Amino acid sequence: MSIDFERELNPAQREAALHMGGPVLVIAGAGSGKTRTIVYRLAHLVETHVSPENILLLTFTRRAAQEMLLRAGHVLGRPLTGASGGTFHSFAYSVLRRNAFDAGYEQGLTLMDRSDSEDLLGELKAHLDLGKGDRSYPKRATLADIITKSRNKELSIGGILDREAYHLLPYQPDIERLAEEYARAKRAQGLMDYDDLLFELERLLVERPEIRDGLRRRYPFVMVDEYQDTNLVQARLVRLLTGEAGNVMAVGDDAQSIYAFRGAVVANILDFPQHFQNARVIRLEQNYRSTQPILDLTNVILAGAQQKFDKQLFTEREGGARPRILQTLSDQSQATQVVGLIVDMASRHPLHEIAVLFRAGYQSYPLEVALTRAGLPYRKYGGVRFNEAAHVKDLLAYLRLAANPADLLAWQRVLGFLKGVGVKTASKIAQAILGGDAKGLDKHVKRFPDLPPLLAELDALRKLAHAPAAALDRAMSFYAPSLSTLYPDDYPKRQAGLEQLAQIVVNYASIEDFLADLCLDGAKEEEERAENAVVLSTVHSAKGLEWRGVIIIDLVEDRFPSKKALQRQEDMEEERRLMYVACTRAKDELALIVPGSVFNRFNNCREPAVVSPFVAELPDAVAERFVETYTGGLRRKDEQVRPGAMTRDDGYLPPVVCPEPPRKPDYEPGARPVSAAAAPRAQHAAAPPPKSSMDAAQSKFGLCEHKIFGQGKIIAEIPPDKYRVNFPGFGLKVIVKDYVKLL
């Protein structure tokens, strides 16, 4: 049957689908029918007597390739039998397996999966006697991640650590040595991991031109999907397979290149016209997903990009409400306002058609509590739910014991953090404590010197039952050394998640109330059964998806864009693309939330937040602006306020002033008071850490060291018992004196 391209495709799609000779780059804007264009191009090639065996379709998932080939068969009326479609890695493996001898694998080759790679690294680590006795040494999975990132990004191990895991820089020489031995062992044993597939195929095509030319004759038509997500070696492979003037069609969107952390290089798609002679560029700009008001906003975001292919998304869906920008009083009230927005949207859309998007997984913690309190079901994608994260459970275990000393599970958890205490021993100690076995507890105290300080700390926490913020702050300081020991690979990231708990707790009057709201979450089985639930997702996890209503939160500097991105222009460009991807997930409604202040646990106050530059540059014409009033309501930003009202005409919030340091609490951090219940063990309690006095060295604001933040410089003393310290990489922190070591 003949395909009616005139009826099935718009003009730009049709131009791309009917293209036959020479390289072509299809810039497919969000929601512009990219997959449909590829499907009809495949069908057109076969319809014009190109054998399916002469077509190579490279994608990033096997499922995507299979779906496109299947749909093309339906359009054509017959299957595309013989067409090669799959991922870069699967194609590389098939070529290398057929040419193993020429590739230097005379005895054949074996492909390792991720677990095989980790096992080999573990064996080599033991053989080289690396990390023996060092509990903070990176785990095998982390070592594998660092090595694979180094290869995919084609950066040195040191470069990867400096950018992404600076806390592991002390282990750089070891990791470099391990990477060298890993490469040597693989070659000696005829093994390849997934990264080797791409680099070994490249080497084969460069060193054996007859094989390269044979592949070019076999596949005169090459198509690559999601070209903006290719890394350096994948782009070189495309050029090797097609030549500078080959029939290659690359489809993608430079504005949706958001996977640099995986090795994707946006320059691959931006420089396509320079890499291929007489390359044609076709833009798909008609959007089939969003309303025009939403596209007007996304077009403004995209216009601010420094390097891009110009495009202006448009749609036939002319109607619809303008996006809303809501400035809330704080990041805490943000959660309340978002719940209100969800309830409002739910009157027009099913809950599963409403999504809340955020830059990092931990940013949804306050919202998760608010949704639970409101009885609204939700599903989370990207990151884990706060009450499922191991480090959050660790910290909450201290507070659970402050609220309920008979909590056996919490006892087992916190006791397990002690050096030399395993699961069985933790259970025995817990039973001795709960059973009042003073003699048995005395034996454990003598055996484990870290036990008395823990018991004293828990006693101190019980006195703060009605001061949950102070209790959490104290528990976080006590838990800090365990955090870095238990999770040496990523503790800075986990620390950021714990800071969100400090933001949540300030609104509670007791530890019990705080724990109740955190734990009154529906059973996971019930959640799995609840199909109609709000979606919470990181922006990265949301790519390729769409919802009727989308809410984007935490649109302030240090959160979106992220703190790290503010230091490098190329990272800021990717953050802009991330914002574009987030906004283009919305079909009917879009709301952007800007908290006016954010809670700083170390300063014990809310500090003014700087609005995200991606929001600040939006003109009033593309969005309706609202501000939260001091009574919790919302008003339009341009609405006149009667004299004496609590809000201001310009909609900006008055500056937030940090309060004076709180009065000295009824406990001394160094003294670690012991209650009567702990009397049998009081005599064995470890001596408290020495009190830090403001001696001459401190008056000059010297250096200090913290278990989590490392070395820093004291810049001020905050009476009665804290310092303000500047930690490189972390910024200013306020730390209790007893938890820093003076240098």
Q: pLDDT tens digit string along 390-408?
A: 898 999 999 999 999 888 8
The answer on whether 30 is annotated among ligand-binding residues is: yes
What is the per-residue pLDDT for 159? 93
Task: For residues 48 and 62, state if they share a domain.
Answer: yes
Residue 396: both structure tokens together: 């909450």
Tell me how far apart the alpha carbons of residues 180 and 660 are, in angstroms, rounded to a whole number.
55
Q: If you average pLDDT over each of 50-64, 499-513, 729-743, which comes out highest? A: 50-64
Residue 65 counted as an annotated binding residue: no
Q: Residue 539 pLDDT more than 90?
A: yes
Q: Is 31 annotated as a binding residue?
A: yes
Please check whether residue 583 is in contact with residue 575, taking contact to mean a CB–CB distance below 8 angstroms: no
Give the mean pLDDT of 72-89: 93
Both 127 and 215 in one domain: the answer is no
pLDDT score, position 692:
38
Question: 239 in a domain, yes or no?
Answer: yes
pLDDT digits (tens, 9 = 90+) for 129-179: 998 888 889 999 999 999 999 999 999 999 999 988 888 999 999 999 999
Q: Which stretch of DSSP H or E encloses residue 710?
A: strand 710-718
pLDDT of residue 384: 74
Share of the chain above pLDDT 90, in %: 60
CA distance linking residue 627 with residue 595, whole number of Å:
10
Task: Give the CATH number of the domain where residue 26 resides.
Answer: 3.40.50.300
Choose the final residue of a domain: 236, 269, 286: 286
Among 286, 312, 332, the domain boundary falls at 286
Mean pLDDT, residues 77-105 taken together? 93
Q: Residue 373 has what pLDDT?
A: 87
pLDDT at 673 over 90: no
pLDDT band of residue 690 (cuts 50, 70, 90) is very low
The count of C-alpha atoms lying within 13 angstroms of the C-alpha of 471, restricted to the half-sphere facing its C-beta, is 29
Residues 570 and 485 reside in one and the same domain: no
Same domain, 205 and 346: no
pLDDT above 80: residue 281: yes
CA-to-CA distance for 236 and 223, rounded, in angstroms?
A: 14
**Same structural domain for residues 73 and 212?**
yes
- The pTM of this model reads 0.79
pLDDT for 508 beyond 80? yes
pLDDT of residue 667: 34
Q: What is the pLDDT of residues 692-726, one digit of tens each?
A: 333 333 345 788 887 666 678 888 888 888 888 87
C-beta of residue 475 within 8 angstroms of C-beta of residue 505? no
296 falls within a domain? no
pLDDT score at 729: 55
Q: What is the pLDDT of residue 665?
A: 37
Q: Is 29 annotated as a binding residue?
A: yes
On whether both 25 and 154 belong to a single domain, the answer is: no
Closest by Cα among 229, 60, 63 to 581? 229
Residue 636 per-residue DSSP state:
E
Q: Check whether residue 182 and residue 208 sit in a common domain.
A: no
Structural domain for 217, as ranges: 11-98+197-286
Residue 451 lies in a domain: yes
The predicted structure's pLDDT at residue 196: 94
35 a known binding residue? yes
Distance CA 365, CA 335 (A): 9
- 85 marked among binding-site residues: no
Together in a domain, 512 and 530: no
CATH assignment of the domain containing 468 = 1.10.486.10
pLDDT tens digit sequence for 244-262: 778 999 999 999 999 999 9
Residues 134 and 279 in one domain: no
pLDDT tens per residue across span 218-231: 999 999 999 999 99
- What distance lies between CA 119 and its chain's CA centroid? 26
Pair 484, 623 in one domain: no
pLDDT for residue 492: 84
pLDDT at 731 over 70: no
Select, from the ranges 89-93, 529-533, 717-721, the one with the highest average predicted confidence (pLDDT). 89-93
